[in-house]
């Protein structure tokens, strides 16, 4: 699959709309020699995985680990990590994308991605001086290497987006174009791939085969259908994405709109064009990873197959030789003994001529050679026959050693193939990234009453949950402790009795506050209605970011123990790691453990929690347990650290009985906070 300029234009605009507002590069992973995975982080929005490759740029739902050595990896990482995406654009409709990154120390950094020919990736400073380049170029039209200034390649012609009807007409009367087939001519003018060019010609209902036979009306139809198709490709509302598969069901291409090219292909619909691009181009990377991991195995198997072929050839030669020797021996046996001059007898002479038997002298001794095997010549034909039969038996006896060697080689090949199959079954070093729910960017849990509670992690997210998600039916929780987060209990009026939820959200509020870091035993929280939360400071006063003014009566929840639990819940056939008040996590989790202040720093606590979960689940045989084990193994330590409160934590108990009370009815969380059964 090769992305055209207009398809790339859509991807650039789509990525731009999602990444340039507040996102920064939190990590750069060099996946292959030609591909880099950029992890983009935002203080309040979900992380974005952006793949930048010589094959294309796209947002992926996969996390990749390095598959090949990449010398540019450390350079790009050092220059772009912690930088913000300032802009990205595509010059005209060229297959080039330019990223502007703003680093807090290094300043402006420019990343140029060229997607034509074999592709290239170039890192430049603010003056376009090349700092690193994937593939240095020494060509007639430009030189690109470290230390030179980046130059664009020569323009290919007219920009297809801005092309006019006059351009089409002028190109049609060009002498060089007159004898071209219409399809080739349209492809040359537009620089579009054949799949789109053929669609344009088909829609235009062209009768002429060559350009010189085109009428003015046909040229106009080609022009307007070209503009129409470009608009369809670059406008998401007009998309009807189609994924093309090969005979084995592997994704090989994706089209933003259906064309005649999909009529006879294995085509399936996908939700979004970006999703289809992710499937096709990520599959190419995954397939490369598998090949890289199994190349040495395939080479070894190939060498062993060659050895088996040689063994089979040797066996055939031995069998053929033994057959000839036996045949000569049988005929010698039939020759009557005629005295000392047997080699001059008519029967023996005929045998030598017909069977290519040789008689020769070596160091004064005469020998009989049959099929490359020598025996000492005897005047008695019966004795020579017996010696030849014995030689044939010796040769055939050696076949067993050839068969044993062949069996060992076949066994070795089978072991290598099983190893290769195992590697392919595991796939490349990837992990599927589930589309996160909106509330997962904050602290969250489900109360025992089935209500959603969300809380801030810092000043920015405190401000975000109040300004973006607080609604009339909610309750707002806070504590009179320095560093207390705001928590929102969603849709609190939906139930008559929410006493348990009030206790649990209050406990979460104090436990995720400074009280945890200070090692306090207990504290109080309070709740108010949305109308009591004022988002602006009183006249003449300053309100810090993430702070709000609370007016009116505060409803206290007192005597709350500083205690949390971390567990894994199941919903819609997905697992979620969640940290919250002990009783709520206990009620909803398949497996969980209690947490209290003190003990280990967040990273070491995360390691211990993950190791404990893996230890408990290892050796289990039920499908749910196996899936849960894989989920825990795939989670990074950062995922666990993100769940934990600020400060030190220790595990108080590990409960594994939750697995026996598996949630049989998947739950669906709605933005209003209600938990409903999903069909």
Q: 3-state DSSP call for residue 87?
A: strand
Cα-Cα-Cα-Cα dihedral sign, residues 269, 270, 272, 276: negative
Two tokens, residue 160: 């297809």
**Phi, psi for residue 565 in degrees, rounded to 5:** -145, 150
Neighbours of 163 (CB within 10 A): 20
- Cα 613 → chain centroid: 26
Q: What is the DSSP letter of 212?
A: G
> Does residue 382 fall inside a structural domain?
yes
Q: What pTM does this model have?
A: 0.60
> Does residue 280 fall inside a structural domain?
no
578/469 same-domain check: yes
pLDDT value, residue 416: 73
> Does residue 119 fall inside a structural domain?
yes
| For the chain, the helix, strand and coil percentages under 3-state DSSP, each to the nearest 5 | 40, 25, 30
> Does residue 247 fall inside a structural domain?
no
> Last residue of some domain: 94, 124, 144?
144
391/450 same-domain check: no
pLDDT value, residue 618: 81
Query: How many domains does the chain fold into?
Result: 3
Cα-Cα-Cα-Cα dihedral sign, residues 457, 460, 463, 468: negative
**Domain ranges, residue 138:** 5-144
Neighbours of 386 (CB within 10 A): 16
Whole-number Å distance between alpha carbons of 583 and 43: 29
Output the CA angle 253-23-66, nearest 5 degrees: 55
Span 427-452, pLDDT tens digits: 444 555 666 788 888 999 999 999 99
**Phi, psi for residue 179 in degrees, rounded to 5:** -90, 0
Residues 290, 67: contact at Cβ < 8 Å?
Answer: no
Long-range Cβ contact pairs of 365-374 (< 8 A, separation 24 or more):
370/324, 370/325, 370/328, 371/320, 371/321, 371/324, 371/325, 371/328, 372/321, 373/321, 373/325
Two tokens, residue 331: 């005929």
Span 298-316, pLDDT tens digits: 677 788 888 888 888 888 9
Q: What is the largest CA-CA distance in the chain?
A: 139
Of 484, 503, 496, the closest CA to residue 445 belongs to 503
Two tokens, residue 388: 């030849």
pLDDT value, residue 447: 94
pLDDT value, residue 9: 94
Kindly give the pairing relationship between strand 487-489 and strand 35-41: unpaired
pLDDT value, residue 538: 67
Pick out the chain residues at pLDDT < 70. Answer: 175, 261-263, 289-298, 337-341, 343-344, 419-435, 537-546, 572-573, 621, 656-679
392/525 same-domain check: no
How many alpha carbons lie under 13 Å from residue 445 in its C-beta half-sphere? Answer: 31
CATH of the domain at 24: 2.30.310.10
Residue found by looking up tokens 């009179």 in the block: 480
Residues 256, 273: contact at Cβ < 8 Å?
Answer: yes
> Last residue of some domain: 98, 126, 144?
144
129/58 same-domain check: yes
395/444 same-domain check: no
32/125 same-domain check: yes
Kindly give the pairing relationship between strand 62-64 and strand 365-370: unpaired
> Does residue 425 fall inside a structural domain?
no
Residues 51, 60: contact at Cβ < 8 Å?
Answer: yes
Contacts of 577 by beta carbon, 8 Å cutoff, 6+ apart: 566, 567, 568, 635, 639, 640, 643
Q: Mind spelling out the 3-state secondary structure of 414-464? A: HHHHHHHHHHHHHCCCEEECCCCCHHHHCEEEECCCCEEEEECCCHHHHHH
471/574 same-domain check: yes
479/366 same-domain check: no
Query: What average pLDDT is seen over the chain?
Result: 85
445 beta partners = 453
396/443 same-domain check: no
557/628 same-domain check: yes
Kindly give the pairing relationship between strand 373-376 and strand 365-370: antiparallel
> Does residue 58 fall inside a structural domain?
yes
593/664 same-domain check: yes
Whole-number Å distance between alpha carbons of 158 and 168: 10
> Does residue 424 fall inside a structural domain?
no
H or E element in which residue 102 lies: strand 96-103
Residues 668, 675: contact at Cβ < 8 Å?
Answer: yes
**Phi, psi for residue 129 in degrees, rounded to 5:** -75, 135
456/393 same-domain check: no
> Last residue of some domain: 96, 115, 144?
144
Q: 3-state DSSP call for residue 132?
A: strand
Residues 79, 123: contact at Cβ < 8 Å?
Answer: yes
Two tokens, residue 573: 């056939």
Whole-number Å distance between alpha carbons of 258 and 262: 7
> Does residue 474 fall inside a structural domain?
yes
**Phi, psi for residue 167 in degrees, rounded to 5:** -65, -40
């Amino acid at each position: 699959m090769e992305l055209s300029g207009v398809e790339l234009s859509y991807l650039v605009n789509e990525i731009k709309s999602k990444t340039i507002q507040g996102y920064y590069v939190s990590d750069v992973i060099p996946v292959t020699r030609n591909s880099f995975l950029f992890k983009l982080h935002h203080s309040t929005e979900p992380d974005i995985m952006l793949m930048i490759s010589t094959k294309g740029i796209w947002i992926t739902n996969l996390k990749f680990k390095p598959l090949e050595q990449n010398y540019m990896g450390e350079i790009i990482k050092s220059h772009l990590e912690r930088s913000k995406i300032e802009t990205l654009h595509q010059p005209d409709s060229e297959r080039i994308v330019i990223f502007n990154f703003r680093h807090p120390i290094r300043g402006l950094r420019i990343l140029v991605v060229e997607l034509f020919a074999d592709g290239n990736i170039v890192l430049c400073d603010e003056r376009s001086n090349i700092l690193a380049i994937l593939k240095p170029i020494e060509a007639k039209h430009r030189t690109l290497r470290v230390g030179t200034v980046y130059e664009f390649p020569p323009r290919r012609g007219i920009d297809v987006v801005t092309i006019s009807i006059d351009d089409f007409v002028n190109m049609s009367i060009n002498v060089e174009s007159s004898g071209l087939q219409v399809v080739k001519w349209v492809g040359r003018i537009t620089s579009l791939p054949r799949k789109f060019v053929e669609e344009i010609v088909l829609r235009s209902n062209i009768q002429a085969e060559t350009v010189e036979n085109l009428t003015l009306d046909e040229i106009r139809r080609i022009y307007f259908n070209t503009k129409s198709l470009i608009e369809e490709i670059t406008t998401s509302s007009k998309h009807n994405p189609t994924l093309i598969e090969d005979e084995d069901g592997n994704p090989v291409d994706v089209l933003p709109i259906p064309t005649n090219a999909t009529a006879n292909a294995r085509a399936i619909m996908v939700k979004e064009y970006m999703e289809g691009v992710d499937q096709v181009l990520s599959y190419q990377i995954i397939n490369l990873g598998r090949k890289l991991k199994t190349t040495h195995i395939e080479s070894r198997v190939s060498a062993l197959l060659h050895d088996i072929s040689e063994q089979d050839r040797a066996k055939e030669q031995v069998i053929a030789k033994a057959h000839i020797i036996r045949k000569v021996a049988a005929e010698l046996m039939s020759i009557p003994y005629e005295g000392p001059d047997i080699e001059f007898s008519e029967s023996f002479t005929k045998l030598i001529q017909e069977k290519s038997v040789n008689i020769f002298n070596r160091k004064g001794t005469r020998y009989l050679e049959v099929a490359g095997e020598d025996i000492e010549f005897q005047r008695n034909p019966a004795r020579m026959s017996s010696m030849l039969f014995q030689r044939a038996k010796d040769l055939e006896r050696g076949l067993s050693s050839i068969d044993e060697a062949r069996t060992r080689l076949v066994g070795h090949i089978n072991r290598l193939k099983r190893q290769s199959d195992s590697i392919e079954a595991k796939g490349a070093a990837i992990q599927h990234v589930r589309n996160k729910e909106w509330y997962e960017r904050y602290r969250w849990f489900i109360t025992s009453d089935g209500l959603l509670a969300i809380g801030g992690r810092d000043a920015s997210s405190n401000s975000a949950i109040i300004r973006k998600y607080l609604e009339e039916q909610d309750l707002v929780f806070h504590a009179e402790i320095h560093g207390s987060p705001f928590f929102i209990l969603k849709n609190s009026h939906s139930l008559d009795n929410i006493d348990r939820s009030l206790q649990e959200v209050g406990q979460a509020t104090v436990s995720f506050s400074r009280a945890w870091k200070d090692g306090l035993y207990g504290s109080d929280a309070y709740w108010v209605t949305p109308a009591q939360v004022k988002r602006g400071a009183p006249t003449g006063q300053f309100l810090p970011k993430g702070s709000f003014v609370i007016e009116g009566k505060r409803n206290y929840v007192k005597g709350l123990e500083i205690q949390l639990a971390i567990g894994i819940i199941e919903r819609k056939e997905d697992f979620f790691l969640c940290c919250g008040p002990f009783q709520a996590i206990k009620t909803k989790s398949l497996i969980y453990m209690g947490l209290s202040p003190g003990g280990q720093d967040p990273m070491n606590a995360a390691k211990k929690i993950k190791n404990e979960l893996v230890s408990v689940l290892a050796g289990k045989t039920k499908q749910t347990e196996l899936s849960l084990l894989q989920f825990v193994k795939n989670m990074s330590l950062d995922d666990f650290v993100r769940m934990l409160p600020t400060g030190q934590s220790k595990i108080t108990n590990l409960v594994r009985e939750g697995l026996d009370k598996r949630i049989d009815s998947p739950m669906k969380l709605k933005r209003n906070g209600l938990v409903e059964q999903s069909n």
